[in-house]
């Protein structure tokens, strides 16, 4: 029994998922095309289409605080992170279920503002709220959204499709959300308005729902994931699921000028935000080098700027980061739930 005398901290997020998987039936019914281990579950429906299902929970004190995000932005973001998962599988977002746990003394205006943010993004993306649950919480607020999406089975893009020789692409820039969070958490040091774009990247990310779907329908990508935990961790998921490794070029990681300027001012390494920061909700995908031109033009058309080729998939396990001076192994340093505090 792996869990004897162990806490959830000892297991870590991956260990907890493995424990749940180990306690579940090994044989899934044939309509479950994908269960645990990707951005969405994929369920075959009677009409030869698949239903994509994703769920995300935001907990006060872990994912947000009143100091770093408004109720309106929180409503937007709670839906955005789910739409991003549907986009990462190549599907079309459709129906949402919202479960919300709040203290009884919470202001009604908090919920009104939350719903205004939720509905603003739902309106832009065609998402319909179809149900959920409301419960009382004794302390922290918790928000869970389950989102359903639709896709043809042959268009679903899994994390497991990367092949040696593929290019690795990201929509960019990366790290803006982490830099925005840094500014919000260090407000006493002053958050000049010139960095509003960074703060907005943290608070109101725009999921790339048109692009994810177009890449999938065009048959251009072999594996795809959205960058929620940082490229170091999310590319790690793709490599692990695909049984491959990757080489990333440090100089190719797309950085915004705002991010570079803030990092220089604060004495930070901008790559730390870009590689490990997370919450960018950009798309990372792999594709054949032969499709480079098509990918550049499609991504420019649907996300405003062309995606950036940041490296390649290789046969050998692990991810390495190549600098001018040489290469180093890139360890996943994205946010790890249930990890012990650093000592
Ligand atoms: Mg995801």
User: Residue 84 maps to which CATH number?
Assistant: 3.30.1330.10
pLDDT at position 68 over 60 = yes
Query: In angstroms, what is the span from residue 148 Cα to ligand 1's centroid?
Result: 14
What is the structure's pLDDT at 36? 83
Let me know if residue 341 belongs to a domain.
no
Let me know if residue 91 belongs to a domain.
yes
Residues 109 and 137 both lie in one domain: yes
Query: In angstroms, what is the span from residue 35 Cα to ligand 1's centroid?
Result: 14
Let me know if residue 11 belongs to a domain.
yes
pLDDT at position 272 over 80 = yes
Residues 57 and 165 both lie in one domain: no
Residues 175 and 48 both lie in one domain: no
**For a pLDDT cut of 70, what percent of the chain falls above it?**
94
Q: Which domain holds residue 18?
A: 1-29
Total domains, the chain: 3
Residues 144 and 246 both lie in one domain: no
Query: In angstroms, what is the span from residue 88 Cα to ligand 1's centroid?
Result: 7
Let me know if residue 338 belongs to a domain.
no
Residues 21 and 67 both lie in one domain: no
pLDDT at position 308 over 90 = yes
Query: In angstroms, what is the span from residue 118 Cα to ligand 1's centroid?
Result: 19
pLDDT at position 202 over 60 = yes
Query: In angstroms, what is the span from residue 314 Cα to ligand 1's centroid?
Result: 23
Let me know if residue 47 belongs to a domain.
yes
Query: In angstroms, what is the span from residue 224 Cα to ligand 1's centroid?
Result: 9
Query: In angstroms, what is the span from residue 55 Cα to ligand 1's centroid?
Result: 10
User: How many C-beta atoms surround the C-beta of residue 318 within 10 A?
Assistant: 14
Q: How confident is the model at residue 152 (pLDDT cuts 50, 70, 90)?
A: very high
Domain boundary among 137, 155, 173: 155
Query: In angstroms, what is the span from residue 106 Cα to ligand 1's centroid?
Result: 30
Residue with tokens 């998962």: 85
What is the structure's pLDDT at 206? 96
Angle formed at CA 206 by CA 291 and CA 126, multiple of 5 degrees: 95
Residues 21 and 146 both lie in one domain: no
**What's 263's domain CATH number?**
3.90.650.10
Let me know if residue 9 belongs to a domain.
yes
Let me know if residue 339 belongs to a domain.
no
What is the structure's pLDDT at 341? 42
What is the structure's pLDDT at 24? 73
Average pLDDT over residues 45-72: 91
Contacts of 122 (CB under 8 A, 6+ apart): 79, 96, 128, 129
Residues 194 and 294 both lie in one domain: yes
pLDDT at position 11 over 60 = yes
Residues 126 and 137 both lie in one domain: yes
Query: In angstroms, what is the span from residue 52 Cα to ligand 1's centroid?
Result: 12
Query: In angstroms, what is the span from residue 104 Cα to ligand 1's centroid?
Result: 32
Contacts of 162 (CB under 8 A, 6+ apart): 222, 223, 238, 239, 241, 242, 244, 246, 286, 313
**83 to each of 125, 211, 318, how far by Cα in Å?**
9, 12, 29
Residues 226 and 306 both lie in one domain: yes
What is the structure's pLDDT at 343? 32
């Amino acid at each position: 029994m792996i869990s004897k005398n162990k806490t959830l901290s000892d297991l870590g997020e991956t260990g907890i998922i493995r424990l749940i998987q180990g306690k579940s039936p090994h044989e899934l019914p044939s309509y479950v095309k994908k269960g645990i281990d990707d951005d969405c579950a994929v369920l075959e429906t009677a009409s030869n289409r698949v239903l994509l299902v994703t769920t995300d929970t935001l907990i006060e004190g872990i994912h947000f605080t009143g100091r770093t995000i408004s109720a309106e932005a929180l409503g937007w973001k709670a839906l955005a992170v789910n739409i991003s998962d549907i986009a990462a599988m190549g599907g079309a977002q459709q129906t949402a279920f919202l479960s919300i746990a709040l203290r009884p003394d919470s202001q009604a205006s908090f919920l009104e503002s939350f719903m205004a943010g939720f509905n603003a993004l739902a309106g832009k993306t065609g998402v319909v709220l179809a149900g959920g649950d409301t419960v009382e919480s004794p302390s922290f607020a918790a928000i869970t959204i389950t989102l359903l999406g639709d896709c043809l089975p042959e268009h679903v893009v899994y994390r497991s499709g990367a092949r040696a020789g593929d290019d690795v692409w990201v929509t960019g820039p990366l790290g803006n959300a982490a830099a925005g969070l840094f500014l919000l958490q260090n407000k006493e040091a002053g958050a000049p308005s010139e960095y509003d774009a960074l703060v907005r990247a943290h608070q109101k990310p725009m999921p790339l729902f048109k692009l994810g779907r177009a890449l999938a329908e065009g048959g251009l990508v072999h594996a795809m994931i959205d960058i929620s935990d940082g490229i170091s961790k999310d590319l790690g998921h793709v490599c692990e699921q695909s049984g491959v490794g990757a080489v990333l070029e440090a100089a190719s990681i797309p950085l915004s000028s705002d991010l570079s300027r803030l990092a220089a001012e604060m004495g930070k390494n901008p790559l730390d935000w870009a590689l490990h920061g997370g919450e960018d909700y950009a798309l990372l995908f792999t594709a054949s080098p032969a499709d480079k031109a098509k990918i550049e033009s499609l991504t420019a058309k649907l996300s405003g700027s062309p995606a950036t080729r940041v490296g390649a998939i290789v046969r050998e396990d692990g991810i390495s980061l190549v600098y001018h001076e040489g290469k180093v192994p890139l360890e996943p340093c994205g946010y790890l739930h249930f990890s012990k505090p650093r000592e």
